[in-house]
Amino acid sequence: MPRPYDSSIRIERARRTRASIVETARDLLLHGGYSAMTVATLAAAAGVSPQTVYNSVGNKAAVVKVVYDQMMAGDDAAVTMSDRPEFQAIFEAGDRPAFANAYAGWVRLLAERAGPLLGALLAHGTDATLLEFTATIEQERYVGTARAITGMRDRIGLPEHHADENGLPWLIDAVWTLNSPDCYDRLVRRRGWSPTEYETWLAGQLIALLD
């Protein structure tokens, strides 16, 4: 009688191949820049065929997005950022200043994780693929900001000067602007601030908005 087919070995092999491709892509992007990483150079560096890259991850745009997502998350688990314990812990704050400090720490964490990659990518901002990538992550960041501020409103409440119908959208827009990767890049990479100084500055700006 034939033995039943065990797909777990094939699945694990595919997972390892994908992980190796993504790790190699991250190294190429960080050290060689966006233009240096093509599907062909990635495949050669990872020791696989270009078709394997396409089958495991996708085209160059897909590879960049996966690298970014994993650097932001700190792992490859299929858990959205807003469902992660670090994000949920922000809402343990008992008042708006405490929320501002906790949120600033969260933004700093994400910026430290993905900042080096974004710095390497943004230098090639006229590339059509990168423009699409930037638009995607900006929208994702806006959704995340909206969840954070809406969650704060539901648990703690908004300050009186943001209590009208325009207050919440205005506040989300303002926080979305403050937590932008460009702010982190300008202050930390270009001006030489430490991540701690950036976090302190961001918390102060948020407290001024929220309290």
pLDDT of residue 115: 85
What are the angstrom distances between the C-alpha of 44 and each of 3, 48, 170? 36, 6, 48
pLDDT of residue 211: 78
Tokens matching residue 61: 């745009």
DSSP one-letter code for 74: S
What's the CA gap between 133 and 209, in Å, rounded?
29
**Other residues' Cβ atoms within 10 Å of the Cβ of residue 66:** 19
- Tell me the pLDDT of the chain (211 aa) as tens digits: 566 656 788 888 999 999 999 999 999 999 888 888 999 999 999 999 999 999 999 999 999 999 999 999 888 777 788 788 888 889 898 999 999 999 999 999 999 999 888 888 876 667 788 888 888 999 999 999 999 999 999 999 888 877 667 788 999 999 999 999 889 989 998 899 999 999 999 999 999 998 7
CATH class of 8-59: mainly alpha
Q: Are residues 198 and 184 in contact, defined by beta-carbon separation less than 8 angstroms?
A: yes
* Domain extents in the chain: 8-59, 79-210
What's the CA gap between 167 and 83, in Å, rounded?
26
Nearest to 111 by CA among 186, 37, 173: 186
